[in-house]
Amino acid sequence: MILIALVSPVGAADEPGIYVSEFTAIMPDWRPVVEVDLSPPEAQAMVIFEVTRYPDPVEPSAAQIAAAGDLWERARAAVVERGWDDFEQAVADGFELMFGDDNHYANRDHVSDGRVLDPERPEFLIYYDTGTSKRLAGLMFLAPPGEHGPQIAGPMTVWHFHLWKREVCLWRELLLDGLAEDGACADGIVAQRSPEMLHLWFFDHPQGMFATGMDLEPFQIRQLEDLEF
């Protein structure tokens, strides 16, 4: 296989009307993307930036709230139909732990199918180990390479991307699949910026239905045992 090297970011084009903020669990500091340095970090192994078209505080419209609810209900229905609340069933259906991660299980067929924000074919299922079992907490969707994720629920649907200090390998320009060696990947492209991604949570996440944050308190993880689909 030909080794493909792409050192420049593979994230979406830095276009007007798009705002980014380095992710914190407090308040975003939205700035036009054209004014933000998105070079790979030097001091940290990885940083996360959130992305939006809605930088000013604004309440979602009734239509946007309805769109969020519809996506959630369709995602839940897909989980019930396919039995993905059972971790072993998800593994049998092709979901496998992503490189360098503890919670995101990727399905390569879904990653490569070209569908966007399809709750019946999510690119990732998110599981937490409660101490007694692995429990499904949510899904994660990917935007196509070089594109911004659709904000179907307006300001509720804030996407995010990663910037890595080291060069990594992205399978199909989308899935983190390892670290680049000597500026090359055996399969995929070399990059230091991920595509955009969006979480959808099935439990009452303290930062909202589509929250970027993955860090949960121990009691929140234990409560996943009682989550019913």
pLDDT of res. 14: 59
CA distances from 67 to 120, 154, 155 (A): 16, 9, 12
Whole-prediction pTM: 0.93
CA 116 to chain centre: 12
CB 12 within 8 A of CB 38: no
Burial 152-173, CB ≥16 within 10 A → b, else e: ebbbbbbbbbbbbeebbbbbbb
pLDDT digits (tens, 9 = 90+) for 162-219: 999 999 999 999 999 999 999 999 999 999 999 999 999 999 999 999 999 999 999 9
Amino acid at residue number 33: V
Q: Which residues of the chain have pLDDT under 50?
A: 1-11
Nearest residue to 211 (alpha-carbon basis) of 37, 56, 28, 38: 28
Domain segments of the chain: what residues?
Answer: 19-226
CA distances from 138 to 92, 97, 114, 220 (A): 18, 14, 21, 13
